[in-house]
Amino acid sequence: MNHPKISKLFTVRNRPVLFTRTDGRYSESLHAIERGAFPVSPSGYHSLCGILRDCRDNSEFPFDEEAIHSVIESIAAKGDESYRKVLTHAQRAARMRPDGSVSHFISLDTNAIQAVRFGFFANNETRTKLWQVAYRLFRMMCEDGHFSPKKMAESGAPAWYEAACRTNLDKAQKQFAFLRQLMAGDFNLNGLDHNELFYSTSHYFSLPPKPDGEPVIAPLSTELTFGFMDGLIADPDEEEDSDEEDEKYGGDE
């Protein structure tokens, strides 16, 4: 049975969210149509496969629009939680004292990349917090003298020989340079592959640039000390989260 293609624009939190259905019956999805905040996904895309079976009606638009809007709002609420977790995990990573080991480098790198990725389609306030803490994480890896290929190789991680450590540190340097560029409001790729740099599934760069440009984000002006981060801790109660939750957290959907 053929199902007609559908395209309808919703407004969620004052932001456009495009609902589409292609040929398949359960091929509904949500898409960002412009740069800026996209409340339902940090990648600019969210699949609705199997979610809308109770939202269909017999009208020309074969879905209950109010019910669909409610579904999108619930997805946005879950997205808030994902952003909160990414920020909290990155903040925790930035408060750890570096030991120069491969395992600590991987922790910093993973959290920094996730914070950058989640920042593209975040609102300005959330992007600022995410990219400021990502800046701190990259600085810890690349500029503070905590990590070197020799010291990392000596930490005993399998397959992380000195050459491999140097390669990963070089990549972190490139990621840091690109983050600096983004924070300066410059979103020109200039031949860079953002997918390679940040393992990104985001199609932010495939959308037209903002007419007024991107906001400039300054690194935190105060020096961050180990033990706390002034101006960044979003919720002191997050310190009560269990290790079990940390293990379950997987980041982007």
Each residue's pLDDT tens digit, 98-118: 889 999 999 999 999 999 999
Pairing of strands 15-21, 6-12: antiparallel
Residue 26: which pLDDT band, with cuts at 50, 70 and 90?
low
Q: What is the 3-state secondary structure (H, E, C) of 82-151?
A: HHHHHHHHHHHHHCCCCCCCHHHHHHHHHHHHHHHHHHCCCCHHHHHHHHHHHHHHHHHHHCCCCCCHHH
pLDDT in tens, 182-219: 999 999 888 877 777 776 656 899 999 999 999 999 99
pTM of this structure: 0.82
- Average pLDDT for residues 215-237, to the nearest whole number? 58
Q: What is the mean pLDDT of the chain?
A: 82
**Amino acid in the structure at residue 37:** A
Give residues with Cβ within 8 angstroms of 22, minimum separation 6: 5
Dist. CA 184–CA 42, nearest whole Å:
21
Q: What is the pLDDT of residue 54?
A: 54
pLDDT in tens, 37-77: 999 999 999 988 767 655 555 454 556 788 888 889 999 99
% of the chain beyond a pLDDT of 70: 77
- Average pLDDT for residues 76-95, to the nearest whole number? 95
Bridge partners, 18 (sequence order): 9, 31
Q: What is the pLDDT of residue 194?
A: 72
Q: What is the pLDDT of residue 24?
A: 56
Q: What is the pLDDT of residue 240?
A: 45
Nearest to residue 86, comparing CAs of 129, 123, 121?
129
Contact 20, 45 (CB under 8 A): no
Residue 244: which pLDDT band, with cuts at 50, 70 and 90?
very low
83 pLDDT higher than 60: yes
Q: What is the pLDDT of residue 191?
A: 80
29 pLDDT higher than 80: yes
- Average pLDDT for residues 126-131, to the nearest whole number? 97
Q: Retrieve residue 71's tokens.
A: 């579904």
Q: What is the pLDDT of residue 168?
A: 93
In the chain, domain spans: 6-77, 81-248
Question: Which position has the higher pLDDT, 27 or 76?
Answer: 76
- Average pLDDT for residues 154-174, to the nearest whole number? 90
What is each CA distance from 17 to 35, 116, 251, in whole angstroms?
Answer: 12, 22, 22
Dist. CA 74–CA 248, nearest whole Å:
21
235 pLDDT higher than 70: no
| Residue-by-residue DSSP string for 64-85 | -HHHHHHHHHHHHHHHHHHHHH
